Structure 1
Amino acid sequence: MTHPGVRQVTWRAALARRRDLTRLAGWSLVEAIPALLSGYLVAHAVDEGFLAGRPVTGLAWLGALAAAVLLGAAATGRTYRCLGAVVEPFRDELATRMVRGALHDATRTGAHPDNAALARLTHQLEIVRDTFAGLLMVTRGFLFAAGAALLGLLALAPVVAALAAAPLAAGLAVFLAALPAMITHQRTYVRTGEHLSHSAATALTAHRDVLACGAQTRVTTDVDQQVSAQATAERTLARMAAIRSLSLGIGGWLPLIVLLIATPWLVERGLTAGAVLGALIYISTGLQPALHTLLQGIGGGGLRYLVTLENILRTYPEPNTTHPTRSHTPPRSTTNPTPAAEIRNLTFRYGPHARPVLENLSLTLNPGDHLAVVGPSGAGKSTLAALLAGLLPPQTGTVHLAGHPVTGTEPTILATRRVLVPQEAYIFTGRLADNLRYLRPDADDHTLETAIDTLGARPLATRLGGLTAPITPAQLSSGERQLIAAVRAWLAPAPLVILDEATCHLDPALEATVEDAFARRPGTLVVIAHRISSAIRAHRLLVLDGTEPQAGTHEHLLEHSTTYRLLIGHWQERTTPPLPTPTRRG
C-alpha cells in the first residue's frame, strides 16, 4: 500500500489544473486519429485499390492516412505544451513544501542536521517532476491509442476486436497483480539511497574526527554496508522487469499470434485480406506499442513517482495539521498574570567539560517589565538571549514564556511569544514594506508609517524612497539595517522583545528613541545593553560577570556591584561629557 497522501496530492494537483488537463485530453484525441484510422484506411487501400487493380484509389486511401499522420504529429507538439502547464506548477508546490519543511526542521529546538534534505530537494524532487510528467503521457497515450486501436478493430470485425481484447486484459491483470511487490522493492531502493547519502555525508563531514579517533575501519564498514544494501535493492528491482516482459508478451504479442493462427478461419468466414492486414496494423502499431509504453512507464517511472513522493510526504507532512497554533494559545488569567518569562535553575555550557556560561540562574519577568542585561564580553549575555528566545535548549533548568516551556515548542509558536533582534540585523532584498511586514503580514501602510515615525526612521525611509522602494542589504550601513530590523520587531505581535545589542550601530540619540519606543510598546522588553544610557533607562538590571548574577535597580547595583561600577566607569570614559542620570519613571 502507498501513503494515502500520494493519491490526495496527485488528485489535488490534477483538479487544480482541470482546464490544462482538458486541453491535454483534447489534443491527445487529435493525436490518436492516425491510430484510429490506420488499419481501416490500409484495409480499404488493399481491398478497394491494389487488390482490385486500382492503384490510384489505393494511393488515395494511403494519402488520407498520411494526412492523418501529419495532423497527429502537429497535435503531439501541443500535448507537450499542455503537459508543462500541469507539471511545472505541481513541482513548484512540492519544492515550496519541502523547503518550508526543511527550514522548519532545521530551526527546531535541539534539531540535528538532516543530511538527506538536499538529496530530497534536488534528486528526489526532480524524480517526482519527471515521473509525474511521464505518468500523464503514458496513461493518456495508452487510453487514447489502445482505445483507438480497439475501436478500429471493432469497425473492421467485432470478432477480431474480441480476440485482441482478451489477451490484452490478461496481460494488464498480471501486471497489476505484481504491482504491490514492485512498489515495495522500489520503496526499499529509495530508502537505501537515503541511508547511503546520510552515511556518506556524515563520514565526509567528520573525517578529521574519524582519523583522530582511529575509527576508519568502522566508518568504512558502515558506508560499505549501505552501498551493498542499495546495490541489492537495485538488483532486486531490476529483476522485476521480467514481470513487465511477461505482461507485454501476454497482452501485446499474444493477440498478434492469435490473429495469425485464426486468419484462415476468419478468411473462411468472409474477412478480406485488407481487413486482416488492417487488424495486424492495429495490433502491431496501436495496441502493442501502447501497452509496452504503459508497462514501462508505470513499472519504471510510476513506481519511482509513488515511492519517492510517498517519502517526501512522510518527511514533510501537510503544514498546520499536527500543531495548530490555536491549541497553543496561552490561557488568560483574570487574577495573577502569568509571567512573561520565567527562568528557573538554568545552567548552560558550550561543551561537556567547559566552564558554565550561566549557572543556576533564576529570573522572573512580569508583563510590562523592562530589563537590561549588562556584563563584560563573554559573560553570557547573548547566550541568555538565545536561551530566552528558545534558540538554545537549556541543559539543566527550565525556561518558560507565557507559562509554556520553550523546549519542544515549534518555532512558529515561539514566534508568537517573543521576537529576538540580534546585533547583525537580517534584511532581505525587496521592498521596504515587505521587510517591515515580515513579522506582521496584515499591517497596513498607515501602521507601517506610524512605526517608522515612532522609532525615528522617517529620514531613512525618505532617503530610500518610501515603503514601495526596493532595498538591497549590501547598500545599507549596519546602522540602517539595525533600524529597519527594529521597526520590524516593534510591529511584531509577540509580547516579549529581546534586543541583543540590536542598536549598537545607532547614534546615542537614535538609540534612545528606539529603546523608548520599545519601552512604551505594550509587553516586556529585554535589552542586552552596550551603553550606560541603555542600562539606566531600564526598570531593572541583571549583571552577569561569570560569578553569581546580581539583579536590581541602577542605584542598587551602583552600591552593591563592583562589576557594575566598573562598567559604568568604562562607559563614562567613552562618553564626553559624562551622561547625567535621568529622573527615573515610577
Structure 2
Amino acid sequence: MTTDAPRLRTEGLRFLNRRRPVLARLAGWSLLEAAQTFLFGYAVARALDHGFLAGRTAGGLGWLAAAAVAVAAGAYGTGRVFRAVSELVEPLRDGLVRRVVGRALADADHAAVSRLTHQVEIARDTFAGLVMVSRSFVFTAAGALAGLASLAPVLLLVVVPPLVLGLGLFLVTLRPMACRQETFLAADEAVAEALDATAAGLRDITAAGAETRTATEAETRFAAEFRAARTLARWGVVRVLAVAVGGRLPVILLLVTAPWLLSRGATPGDLVGALTYLMYALLPALQSLMQTLGTAGSRLTVVLRRLTERGRGPTGPEHTAPEGGPLDGVAGAPSGPGADPAHGAGNVMPPATTPQPVRRLRTGVRGGAPVREGAGWGKKPFRPAGPVQPAVELRGVTFAYGPHAEPVFQGLDLVVPAGGHLTVVGPSGIGKSTLAALVAGLLEPAGGEVRLCGEPVRGAVHRRALVPQEAYVFSGALRDNLTYLCPDPPPDPAVLASARAVGAYELLLRLGGLDAAVAPGELSAGERQLIALARAHLAPVPVVLLDEATCHLDPAAEARAERAFAERPDTTLIVVAHRISSARRADRVLVMDGTHAVCGSHDELIRCSALYRDLAGGWSQPAGALGDANGVHAVAGPGLPGDRGHVVAHRPVGQVQAVGDLGDVRPLGGE
C-alpha cells in the first residue's frame, strides 16, 4: 500500500520466522479440524446413501456416530489452536507496547494515549482474529473441497466458480478498504491529540475567551472522523455482495442443477453432503474470512505501519533576538564576533541533537534601589546582610518527572534581583508551574542548585509565600486563615490593610468580619483565591510566587492584586501568568517554549519573540474591555484613539465590521 510496506512485510516475516515451532503446532492442530470437516460431510452422505435410503438403519446410525466422533476431535483441536495463537499474539502486543512507550518518551508523542489504549489493542485483537479465521478458512476449504471431490467430482463444477468469483471480488476491495481505514485512524488520532491539547489548555482558553473557536476546531475533527467512518461503512456493503456471490450463490446453483447432477452420477446423499459442506463449513468460513480480513485485516495493516513507523524528533520554533545584539537588560547573552543571535538567553530543554551552552538569565533590577524596610507587617523585616543579593537564583538546574522522562529544564540559569517583578509566560504544560515549585522548594532538582535570598531553598522556605491556582482554605475562623503564615499574631489593622490591598475587604465584610467562620465548600474558587492572596500579602516574606493565583478573578481584580504585591515594600514578585496583561505590568517577562527561554520587557519581546507575539495576540482581552487599565485593546472598536465612528464592535470575540460601503481599499483618514 505504501513505501513502508516492504519494511512492514520484512518485520512480519522476521517475527513469524522466530516462532516456527508455534506455527508448526498451529498447523498440526488445524489439520485435525480439516479432518473433521471432511469426515462430517462425507459421513452424512454415506449415512443417507448406504444407510437410511438403502434400508440399513444401523449402518446410517454408524456413519452419523463417526461424524459425531469427528466433531469431538475437531473441538479438541480447536482448543489447542487457541493456545498456539496466544503464543503468537501476546509477544506481538508486548513488542508494540514497548515501541509506543519508547517513542513517546523519546519524541513526546501526543498521540501515545490513542496508540496504547486503542491502536495496540486493535493490533492484538485483529491479529488473533486474522490467524484464527485465515487458518480456519484454508483448512476448512481444503477439507470441504476434498470431501466434494470424494463424493462426486462433478459437484466441483457447480461450487468452485462462484466461490472463486466471490473471493476475487473480495480481494478487489482490500486496497480501498485499507486506505479508508488509514484515513479513519488518522482522524481518530487527530481527535485524541486535539482533546489532549484542549484539556491541557483549558485555563488559557477561558482566559482568552476562545471557547467558541476551540469548540469549532474540535467539532471539525469529530466531523472528519465521522465522514471517514461512513466511507468505510460503504465499502462494507461491497463485502456483503462478495459473501453472497462466494457463499450463497453455490447453494442456489446446487439446488437448481440438482437434476443435471443426478443425471451425471451424483446421488441424493452426495447432494445432501454437498449442502452440508456448503452450509456448515464453507459459508461460515467464508463469511468470517471476509469480515475479519476485510475490515480487521486492513485495519491491522494500517495500525501496524503507524505503530512501527520511525518517529521524528521533536521540532519547535526558535525565538530569535533582535538584529544587532541580545536583549537589553539580559546579562550573559552572547554578543560580539561569533555570537549566535538565533538563541535567547536561556537554556530550557535543549534539543538532544544540538548541545547548547548554558547561559545566565537575569531579569532587570528595579532601578538598583536599596532594599527598604517594611516587608509584610512584622517587626523584623527582611534585610540582606552586606551587598544586595539576588532574591531568586537558579544555577544549572535540571529537572525531569522521572528518570526516563524528557527534562523539563536542563542546565537552566535564572537570576531575579531583590525587588524585581518577573512574569513567566508560555504554552500550557511547558513547565511554568514546575519552575514555581522549584523556586518554592516543593520540588528538588536532579542537578544544579536553587537559592532563595542567598540561601539554599530547602533552608529558606520561610522566606517565600506561594499561592497556587487552587487556593487552600481550611475550616475555621477567617482570621486564622489569613494569619497562619505569620510567625507572630499581626494586629487587626495590618490584616485589614492586606485585605484591602488585594481586593478581599468586601469579601471579609460579607463573611462577617475576621472572627467569622469559614466553610471552604461554600466559597467560590475566586473567593478562595482572594483569601489566599490576602494571606500571602500579610506574610512577612521577601519573595512571593503567584502560580496562576488569579485565574478565577476578572482582569480588574487580577490587576489590583498584582499591583498590591508589586507595591509592597521589599518584595520580589514572580507571577505565572494566564493573561497578557500580567506580562505588561511586570518589569521583565520570561517566555518559555520548551527549547529556549527568552527574557525581556513586553516591548522587547514583541519585537524579538514570535512565540510571545502569538501569546500576546491569543491572550488579549476580549472586545468590550475598552477600559482596561493597562491600555490593552484587543481589536479595533468604537471609542479607541483615532476612531471617527467608521468601525463598531461585532460579537464578543472581537470581530469588526465596516459601517457603510468602503468603496475602495485606501486608508480611512490615514489610520
TM-score normalised by L of structure 1: 0.56
Contact 1:28–1:75 at 8 Å: present in 2 too? yes
* Shift of residue 220, structure 1, vs aligned partner: 0.5
CA deviations on 1:124-177 (whole Å, 9 max, x unpaired) are 101101111111111101100011101111111112123211111111111111
Residue 23 of structure 2, aligned match among 21, 27, 35: 21
| Cα root mean square deviation, aligned | 3.6
Q: How far apart, in 2, do the equivalents of 1:117 and 1:68 lie?
A: 48
The residue number in structure 1 matching 2:33 is 31
* Shift of residue 393, structure 1, vs aligned partner: 8.2
Q: Which amino acid aligns with 2:234?
A: R
* Shift of residue 9, structure 1, vs aligned partner: 2.6
The residue number in structure 1 matching 2:232 is 237
Q: Which amino acid aligns with 1:381?
A: R
* Structure 1 residues 155-170: aligned runs within 5 Å: 155-170=150-165
Aligned: 1:80 with 2:82:
yes
Residue 358 of structure 1, aligned match among 358, 361, 368: 361
Q: How far apart, in 2, do the equivalents of 1:104 and 1:197 lie?
A: 19
Residue 181 of structure 2, aligned match among 186, 189, 192: 186
> Taking structure 1 as reference, are residues 180 and 384 closer, same or farther at Cα in structure 2, changes over 3 Å only?
closer
> Taking structure 1 as reference, are residues 84 and 166 closer, same or farther at Cα in structure 2, changes over 3 Å only?
same
Q: Which amino acid aligns with 1:239?
A: R
More displaced stretch, 83-92 vs 30-39: 30-39
Contact 1:348–1:394 at 8 Å: present in 2 too? no
The residue number in structure 1 matching 2:142 is 147
* Shift of residue 81, structure 1, vs aligned partner: 0.6
CA deviations on 1:365-411 (whole Å, 9 max, x unpaired) are xxxxxxxxxx967334124999xx9975899xxxxxxxxxxxxxxxx
Contact 1:36–1:152 at 8 Å: present in 2 too? yes
Contact 1:185–1:236 at 8 Å: present in 2 too? yes
The residue number in structure 2 matching 1:279 is 274
Q: How far apart, in 2, do the equivalents of 1:385 and 1:210 lie?
A: 28
> Taking structure 1 as reference, are residues 207 and 499 closer, same or farther at Cα in structure 2, changes over 3 Å only?
closer
> Taking structure 1 as reference, are residues 384 and 20 closer, same or farther at Cα in structure 2, changes over 3 Å only?
closer
> Taking structure 1 as reference, are residues 268 and 317 closer, same or farther at Cα in structure 2, changes over 3 Å only?
farther
SS at match of 1:279: helix
Contact 1:347–1:357 at 8 Å: present in 2 too? no
The residue number in structure 1 matching 2:120 is 125
The residue number in structure 1 matching 2:45 is 43
The residue number in structure 1 matching 2:261 is 266
Aligned: 1:174 with 2:203:
no
Q: How far apart, in 2, do the equivalents of 1:127 and 1:139 lie?
A: 17
Residue 345 of structure 2, aligned match among 348, 363, 371: 348
Q: Which amino acid aligns with 1:189?
A: F
Contact 1:200–1:223 at 8 Å: present in 2 too? yes
The residue number in structure 2 matching 1:104 is 106
The residue number in structure 1 matching 2:67 is 65
Q: How far apart, in 1, do the equivalents of 2:312 and 2:35 lie?
A: 43
Aligned: 1:223 with 2:218:
yes
Contact 1:115–1:201 at 8 Å: present in 2 too? yes
CA deviations on 1:13-44 (whole Å, 9 max, x unpaired) are 21121111110111111122221112211111
- Count of aligned pairs between the two proteins: 361
* Shift of residue 316, structure 1, vs aligned partner: 4.0
Q: How far apart, in 2, do the equivalents of 1:145 and 1:303 lie?
A: 23
Uncovered stretches (5+) of structure 2, i.e. residues with no partner? 314-337, 349-358, 364-388, 401-405, 413-437, 439-443, 451-455, 458-671
CA deviations on 1:191-250 (whole Å, 9 max, x unpaired) are 000111111221122111111111111000000111111111111111111111111111
Q: How far apart, in 2, do the equivalents of 1:213 and 1:376 lie?
A: 34
Contact 2:45–2:270 at 8 Å: present in 1 too? yes
Identity of aligned residues (%): 41
TM-score normalised by L of structure 2: 0.50
> Taking structure 1 as reference, are residues 316 and 98 closer, same or farther at Cα in structure 2, changes over 3 Å only?
farther
Q: How far apart, in 2, do the equivalents of 1:307 and 1:288 lie?
A: 28
The residue number in structure 2 matching 1:575 is none
User: Which structure carries more helix by proportion?
Assistant: 1
The residue number in structure 2 matching 1:446 is none
* Shift of residue 48, structure 1, vs aligned partner: 0.6
The residue number in structure 2 matching 1:115 is 110
CA deviations on 1:63-103 (whole Å, 9 max, x unpaired) are 00000000001111111111111110111111111111111
Q: How far apart, in 2, do the equivalents of 1:19 and 1:61 lie?
A: 36
Q: How far apart, in 2, do the equivalents of 1:317 and 1:21 lie?
A: 35
